[in-house]
Chain A
Amino acid sequence: MKKVIYLDNAATTKVRPEVVEAMLPYYTEHYGNPSSVYAFSTPCKKAMAHTREIIANALGAKTEEIYFTNGGTESDNWALKAAAEAYASKGKHIITTKIEHHAILHTGEYLEKNGYDVTYLPVDEMGVVDLKALKEAIRPDTILISVMFANNEIGTIQPIKEIGEIAKEHGILFHTDAVQAFGHEPINVEELHIDMLSASAHKLHGPKGVGFLYIRKGLKLRSFIHGGAQERKRRAGTENVPGIVGLGKCVEIAVASMDETKKKETELRDYLIGRVMSEIPFTRLNGHPTQRLSNNANFAFQFIEGESLLIMLDMAGICGSSGSACTSGSLDPSHVLLAIGLPHEIAHGSLRLTLSDETTKEEIDYTVDNLKAIVERLRSMSPLYEDFVKSREKKEIQG
């Protein structure tokens, strides 16, 4: 295999060798069912308790507030559907945003079909939720506010503390989809007034198919997956013990190295953004310049289309992603890019590059060098660019 430069860490990440190593014994040695009585299963129970402790510590929560799930999507579904059901007698209004992950948006649409009212808050051109609009959207029958901690496409970090305070003041539950932020950004559920929080291991150099939902003690949320008595009867099904062990290990490493990783990633990210913005004309940085995930850069290159860009990057061994309509299979560009006000044709030319702590400056330089040539090549083939150049020439002659 040729060398791959992996800059799509928002999609998923490489599992750390230490994480794999920690998981392996739970396949072949400690394979007992944690629900069983015999001592053979004790290591499994212990390992799960250990992960719960690591996560609870990371969030400033209690261990009994952490429920293992199969990932971000399940946690989001559970939080929204169960809160909607549990608090239906109080009201049927939910507030979320236009830029959530589909795990929230499509769950919102499902609830709308089932008699709930959902408000999708707008964001500004940097992707920050409008707090005034949030306050205005609150009604006596509002039962839940769900706002993502950080956006998966443009990396913008939301004013979670302010939102938590507003929710608390009004006695409304507050859920946050922290799939992109947990382990990357410091989060304390007490300080931020978070009642529910979704997270996933595979965005954090852990295994796929495991995550958790934090549910504040005292919330009446019922089970979402019915069956056995696992997870205090709230999430049935024999636990993914090796996965849960991996989750614990990757969170432990992420928390211990958070400051260092953030510093390193931010430096490289800003180097990447700086080079791209100064060396490639007609380019826009999507998302907030500073209030953004340390590993996220998202650009829109005018006059070109994202899928062509991705294929050409792939030919150079570089993995990225795009919000272009052509990559969506649905003929619509990303809802996030539309929500920050990009016109269709500019959303078309978007490119997301997301780094990890293993990304090197050499990789960034190689990527930018290739990117420059590719953007130039695609522009030379673009009728939009041709029109732009001609109209500019005309103006110059007239002017």
Chain B
Amino acid sequence: MYSEKVMDHFQNPRNVGEIEGASGVGTVGNAKCGDIMRIYLDIDDETRIIKDCKFKTFGCGATVATSSMATELVIGKTIEEAMKVTNKAVMEALDGLPAVKVHCSLLAEEAIHAALWDYAEKNGITIEGLEKPKSDISEHEEDEEY
């Protein structure tokens, strides 16, 4: 049912864990299916580069794999570059997801945004294109085309 890449990231998830004193933490869930993802970011204030990213996830195989891939994709990027890591980018990097699992990849995108939002709030800055994240993405997912 899942691609080899998904299975690899599920079996050997990268960057699982917490970051103590993280620059930003974001937790989002999908109240409908009950899944929760938390992303921790460690950001260099000077260069705005994401030095480290860790995650914790309560959800299906696709959710674990998308969290893992998303952390890989944002580490080493600037905030602006990280804003371009969409759920589609994560899915492509994983060689696709089954149609019923597309909504799981939205959690990853939303969790990164939530963590960035937390960072921006703490530091009194604005990040271009970043909207206040929803803590529950199940509303959002209706308009997504599967």
Q: Which residues of A contact B (CB under 8 A)?
A: 303-305, 307-308, 311, 315, 324-327, 329, 331-333, 344-345, 348, 380-384, 386
By a CB distance below 8 angstroms, the chain B residues around A344 are 34
Q: Contacts A315-B11, A380-B16 given: A325-B34 contact, CB under 8 Å?
A: yes
Q: Mark B27-49, 1 if CB is under 8 A from A, else 0.
A: 10010111111100000000000
Give CA–CA (A128, B37) in the complex, Å: 35
By a CB distance below 8 angstroms, the chain A residues around B34 are 305, 325, 333, 344-345, 348
Say whether B59 contacts A303, CB under 8 Å: no
Give CA–CA (A382, B58) in the complex, Å: 5
Give CA–CA (A344, B35) in the complex, Å: 10
Main secondary structure of the interface of A (DSSP, over half): helix
Total cross-chain contacts (CB, 8 A): 65
Give CA–CA (A162, B140) in the complex, Å: 49
The 18 sampled A-B contact pairs (Cβ below 8 Å) are: A303-B58, A305-B34, A308-B60, A308-B61, A311-B61, A326-B35, A326-B59, A326-B63, A331-B32, A331-B33, A332-B32, A333-B34, A381-B16, A381-B57, A382-B56, A382-B57, A382-B58, A384-B36
Give CA–CA (A326, B59) in the complex, Å: 7
Q: What interface size band does chain B fall in?
A: 20 to 34
Give CA–CA (A329, B63) in the complex, Å: 14
Q: Mark B44-79, 1 if CB is under 8 A from A, else 0.
A: 000000000000111111011000000000000000
B125 interfacial by beta-carbon distance below 8 Å: no
By a CB distance below 8 angstroms, the chain B residues around A315 are 11
By a CB distance below 8 angstroms, the chain A residues around B58 are 303-305, 345, 348, 382-384
Beyond the given pairs A325-B34, A381-B56, A384-B36, 12 more chain A to chain B contacts, judged by CB atoms under 8 angstroms and listed by A's residue number, are A304-B58, A305-B34, A307-B59, A311-B10, A325-B32, A331-B30, A345-B58, A348-B58, A383-B38, A383-B57, A386-B18, A386-B56
Candidates A326, A329, A331, A381; contact of B13 at CB < 8 Å: A381
Give CA–CA (A325, B58) in the complex, Å: 12
By a CB distance below 8 angstroms, the chain A residues around B37 are 383
Closest to A310 in B: B61
By a CB distance below 8 angstroms, the chain B residues around A304 are 58
Closest to A327 in B: B60
Shortest Cβ gap from A31 to chain B (Å): 38
By a CB distance below 8 angstroms, the chain A residues around B18 are 386
Candidates B32, B56, B61, B100; contact of A329 at CB < 8 Å: B100
Q: Contacts A326-B35, A331-B32, A344-B34 given: A307-B60 contact, CB under 8 Å?
A: yes
Main secondary structure of the interface of B (DSSP, over half): mixed
Give CA–CA (A384, B27) in the complex, Å: 11
Give CA–CA (A331, B32) in the complex, Å: 6
Q: Contacts A308-B10, A315-B11 given: A383-B60 contact, CB under 8 Å?
A: no
Say whether B33 contacts A325, CB under 8 Å: yes
By a CB distance below 8 angstroms, the chain A residues around B57 are 381-383
Shortest Cβ gap from B97 to chain A (Å): 12
Give CA–CA (A380, B55) in the complex, Å: 11
By a CB distance below 8 angstroms, the chain A residues around B32 are 325, 331-332
Give CA–CA (A311, B1) in the complex, Å: 11
Say whether A305 contacts B35, CB under 8 Å: yes
Give CA–CA (A307, B57) in the complex, Å: 13
Give CA–CA (A324, B33) in the complex, Å: 9
Say whether A383 contacts B11, CB under 8 Å: no
Give CA–CA (A333, B18) in the complex, Å: 29
Closest to B10 in A: A311
Say whether A326 contacts B33, CB under 8 Å: yes
Most chain A CB within 10 A, of B34, B60, B100, is at B34
Of all A-B residue pairs in the complex, the 8 with the closest CB atoms, nearest first, are: A326-B60, A307-B60, A383-B38, A383-B56, A331-B33, A325-B33, A344-B34, A382-B58
By a CB distance below 8 angstroms, the chain A residues around B2 are 311
Most chain A CB within 10 A, of B11, B35, B37, B63, is at B35
Give CA–CA (A90, B145) in the complex, Å: 49
Give CA–CA (A94, B47) in the complex, Å: 69
Say whether B38 contacts A386, CB under 8 Å: yes
Give CA–CA (A345, B56) in the complex, Å: 16
Shortest Cβ gap from B28 to chain A (Å): 10
Candidates A307, A332, A383; contact of B36 at CB < 8 Å: A383
By a CB distance below 8 angstroms, the chain A residues around B16 are 380-381
Shortest Cβ gap from B85 to chain A (Å): 20
Closest to A343 in B: B34
By a CB distance below 8 angstroms, the chain B residues around A332 are 32-33
Closest to B2 in A: A311
Closest to B36 in A: A383
Closest to B59 in A: A305
Most chain A CB within 10 A, of B2, B10, B27, B57, is at B57
Shortest Cβ gap from A351 to chain B (Å): 14
By a CB distance below 8 angstroms, the chain A residues around B59 are 305, 307-308, 326
Give CA–CA (A386, B11) in the complex, Å: 20
CB under 8 Å from chain A, chain B span 66-112: 100, 103
By a CB distance below 8 angstroms, the chain A residues around B100 are 329
